[in-house]
Amino acid sequence: MTYNPKSEFLQEMITRGFLQDCTDLQGLDEKLLEGCMPAYIGFDATADSLHIGSLIQIMMLRWLQRTGHKPLPLMGGGTTKIGDPSGKDESRQLITTEIINENINGIQKVFEKYLSFGESSTDAKIINNAEWLDKLNYIEFLRDIGKHFTINRMISMESVKLRLDREQPLTFLEFNYMLLQAYDFMELNNRYDVSLQMGGSDQWGNIVNGIDLTRRLNKKSVFGLTTPLLTKADGSKMGKSANGAIWLNSDKLSPYEFWQFWRNTLDADVGKFLKLFTELPVSECERLGSLEGQEINEAKVILANEVTKLCHGEEAAINSNKTARKVFTEDGSDENLPTLEISNLEIIDGISFTQALVRTGLVSSGKEAKRIIAGGGAKLNDKVINDAGYMLDAAELHKTPKISASKKKHALIKVI
């Protein structure tokens, strides 16, 4: 990077590793120095929570606000009805407006943790693109907006090429998505004077389309900024674990499980994740990331504490840390562990230990459960269980037993 920005926001983006590409870095820097600037990132409402695959974008909005600008999370109440084909091998399942609205309510809770809302110039505002997309007249839209897009360019987009090259169907519905996302940028520029759209690197084409459309129709200079595709040091994708997505809402994933995910970070990722997902000074992130041996494990605890504090609050971070220490160091149990609740009717004949491992989410399948049992890694109240057919009877289940799959995965079973 040859250009050294003067604005605090871009300085943070570059030193912390958020920046992949920018349409005009110097121009954006100068615009940021003029004063409070509104910027947005779009989020489709395909689930009732976001997972950590979206956390890098959420942290960008948080840094934008911290450095004196206005974050505008854009909910895709309109575009979710179509589905973004970017990075997808097949069409998304269409969902109803009612479900989309329920999902937006769940996602809003995530943003309330990370951003400050109110009436001041830098306070965040959640916007729903259904406000304008649901009212579009199709013929007028084609005439006024469609004429600025060529089929030649649209089929050159990565999201389209991916499907066509693999000879997989791309519906006309999805083909329209890039027009609507470009229209979003233009509308936000009109309504809220938005000058910047941010997003993941897979959104580059959609962002550039929005910039071109806004410049053509609004005669204004606007900018785009993308983040790198984030992967772990082992090459696996951020956002999911072996047992599913790492959700940001506590009703989807307990704070302890969230904390534990970060505690299990690979050594090589600690420094990078500290810079991206915490607000510790960059120099401290780099120092912690360079530690080795037992000391890097302490750095992982700091990472888990800091990320959990931002997402679930300080008390949740403290309790999760205590639970981990009690479970792993003191070889005990704790009520903050993930808990499977089952009814009395379900345990008349007991349940198999293999089934318990699967139902608590400690393993993803019965096959995996049997493999761990055979390897001596499965425990009931810290006692190794070697028999895949072992049955937990009602009396045992009423004592709220702890079951474990390897040294790091634990859960309780509670009869209700």
Domains of the chain, earliest start first:
8-227 (3.40.50.620), 254-328 (1.10.240.10), 339-415 (3.10.290.10)
Q: Is residue 17 within 8 Å of 282, Cβ to Cβ? A: no
- Pair of tokens at residue 251: 């009703």
pLDDT at residue 239 in the model: 64
Between CA 15 and CA 1 the distance in angstroms is 11
Region for residue 35 given its phi and psi (left: phi exceeds 0; alpha: psi -120 to 50; beta: otherwise): left
- Provide the mean pLDDT of the chain: 87
Between CA 86 and CA 248 the distance in angstroms is 22
Sequence letter at residue 174: E
pLDDT at residue 378 in the model: 86
For the stretch 155-185, pLDDT in tens is: 777 767 676 777 776 776 677 788 899 999 9
Of the two residues 337 and 209, the one the predictor is more confident about is 209
Q: At what angle do helices 177-192 and 204-218 cross, to 10 degrees?
A: 50
DSSP-assigned states of every residue in 293-352: THHHHHHHHHHHHHHHHHHH-HHHHHHHHHHHHHHHTS----TTS-EEEE-GGGGTT-EE
pLDDT at residue 352 in the model: 84
Sequence letter at residue 269: D
Sequence letter at residue 63: W
pLDDT at residue 159 in the model: 67
What dihedral angle (degrees, nearest 10) is formed by the CA atoms of 119, 123, 126, 131?
Answer: 50
Confidence of residue 325 (pLDDT cuts 50, 70, 90): confident
Q: Is residue 406 within 8 Å of 393, Cβ to Cβ? A: no
Q: Report pTM.
A: 0.78
Output DSSP code: residue 93: P
Of the two residues 296 and 401, the one the predictor is more confident about is 296
- Pair of tokens at residue 25: 């870095």
